Structure 1
Amino acid sequence: MTSSPALPSWLTRVGVFDLETTGVDVTRDRIVTAHVGVLDHHGAEIAARTWLADPGVPIPEAATAIHGITSERARRNGSPAPQVVAGVVAALRSLLDQGVPIVAYNAAFDFSLLAHEARRHGIAPLDSPSPVIDPLVIDKTYDRYRPGKRTLEIVAAHYGVDLTGAHDASADAVAAGRVAQALAQRFPLPPSAAELHTRQISWARAQAASLTDYFIRIGRIEPEARLDGRWPVREADPVREVDLMREGRVDA
């Protein structure tokens, strides 16, 4: 029986991060649940923290249908939003300060929304978090022409990663971390997390440009419009998020 290739040393201990939110507009929507954890080289979670927030605004029924959290539950059991945002930022900052890479699937969504939430509550944001590992960007780079959707559920299944309870922040975060490790065992990733981070900036920009061309070609956006390809923190582009979510191209 052939064993899997060894993980790069920088993937033997990784942070994992995921948010469930009130919607997909990174500037206006709010955090409902959040998870930050650490995986070991076997993909086992060895440290974890999960938050439930009272976002301070009603949770739309469409969002509840995805993650299962109602406005009533959030108000009854959730912590104040500023407390949750501060806790998530502090947990991520601590890992990054230790040099631990953070895995987040479709990282530009989670990190951008978190940055806007931090500014909303007067908390110093993670403006340039690094190193970040985004399995969505990596998968689209190394297996560009594979047909089908690229939601976390589908990509996890493709790489043999179990995802039970999708759209639970904890389950999604852990699955994303295991997908990142699976990608490293299948493809020749750069030799360090720092170099991978730098390359993902270019890859994400190129992917946004390609998607821009596609949307223009099918008449989804005007020819002068451009999707924001900045990564892992970008400005508002709700049209992009809504369209991608509807088409199943990303999984927030």
Structure 2
Amino acid sequence: MSAAWHRLTFAGLDFETTGVDPEEDRIVSAAVVLRGGGRPTERRTWLSDVGGMEIPAGATAVHGITTAHAREYGRPAAEVVEEVAASVAEAVAAGCPLVVMNAPFDLTMLDRELRRYGVPLLADRCTPYVIDPRVLDRKVSRRRGSRTLTDLARHYVVELHGAHTCDADALAACAVVYKIANRYKWLASIPLPRLHAEQVRWAAEQQEGLRDYFARTDGKRHLAQGVRLDWPMVPAPLMTGSRS
């Protein structure tokens, strides 16, 4: 009998970016980590030169990386996104579930960056089983309040040193997923392919609930139309293609 999926080695993916719009913003730093499954933790990190873009002060305030630092020490953006995608594909080929906190942001960001530089897409390299700790937490817990990675780490008693540092965030997301599965045994008993499919449904239901909340709340109704139901990635606009 095969081990439950939470006993496998997780591949964690995380980005820090120039902003929160995957269609326009760029990856600043990235991490792919391997955690669990009885093997030593591994981490690989990248710093991008953001393709000559400016890093807004608001983004720097979150992750601490300035435009000057990225331009001096970062590697060409096209090389970074290619290596990130290759690293993810390698981990998936080795049988690792892909853990991504708020997957529709990070996976959409990676997709658009790969398209921007004309690099083969992740979907052309592998078909990962994605696990999103935010989707899982919303499914198993009805508590109120924020569900950032910091909140989840606190709730599930996971160490998070250096929040908004890609490798620290990716490792914490993996640890949160393990803690959730270990606490809610019915989740751990679901085969990975079905768990991925269930998260598609759960995420849509959760986002529909958020959209309905916005729609009936004064001062937030304008936010309802921006709520997307897609998981784990927002499909690319039809006109999206390679551009510099």
Alignment match, 1:178: 175
Q: Taking structure 1 as reference, are residues 10 and 163 closer, same or farther at Cα in structure 2, changes over 3 Å only?
A: closer
Give the conservation status (yes or no) of the 8 Å contact 1:8–1:184.
no
Structure 1 Cα separation of the partners of residues 16 and 236 of structure 2: 18
Map 1:1-252 to 2 at 5 A: 8-41=4-37, 46-55=41-50, 56-127=52-123, 129-143=127-141, 145-187=142-184, 188-189=186-187, 190-219=189-218, 220-221=220-221, 225=225, 227-235=227-235
State the 1:71 CA deviation: 0.2
Q: Taking structure 1 as reference, are residues 45 and 121 closer, same or farther at Cα in structure 2, changes over 3 Å only?
A: farther
Give the conservation status (yes or no) of the 8 Å contact 2:212–2:224.
no
Give the conservation status (yes or no) of the 8 Å contact 1:25–1:236.
no
Q: Taking structure 1 as reference, are residues 224 and 154 closer, same or farther at Cα in structure 2, changes over 3 Å only?
A: closer
Q: Which amino acid aligns with 2:137?
A: D
For 1:137-186, what per-residue CA distance to the aligned partner results, in whole angstroms no more than 9, with x for missing partners? Answer: 0000110x202210101111110101011000010000000000000111
Aligned residue for 1:17, secondary structure, equals strand
Q: Structure 2-normalised TM-score?
A: 0.88
Structure 1 Cα separation of the partners of residues 127 and 20 of structure 2: 21
State the 1:98 CA deviation: 2.4
Q: Taking structure 1 as reference, are residues 235 and 9 closer, same or farther at Cα in structure 2, changes over 3 Å only?
A: closer
Cα root mean square deviation, aligned: 2.0
For 1:31-77, what per-residue CA distance to the aligned partner results, in whole angstroms no more than 9, with x for missing partners? Answer: 000000111236x7522210000002000000000000000000000
Q: Taking structure 1 as reference, are residues 129 and 210 closer, same or farther at Cα in structure 2, changes over 3 Å only?
A: farther
Q: Taking structure 1 as reference, are residues 215 and 78 closer, same or farther at Cα in structure 2, changes over 3 Å only?
A: same
Seq. identity, % = 40
Aligned length: 229
Structure 1 Cα separation of the partners of residues 116 and 212 of structure 2: 33
Structure 2 Cα separation of the partners of residues 34 and 217 of structure 1: 37
Q: Structure 1-normalised TM-score?
A: 0.85
For structure 1, which runs of at least 5 residues remain unmatched after alignment? 1-6, 238-252
Give the conservation status (yes or no) of the 8 Å contact 1:10–1:193.
no
Structure 1 Cα separation of the partners of residues 25 and 70 of structure 2: 15
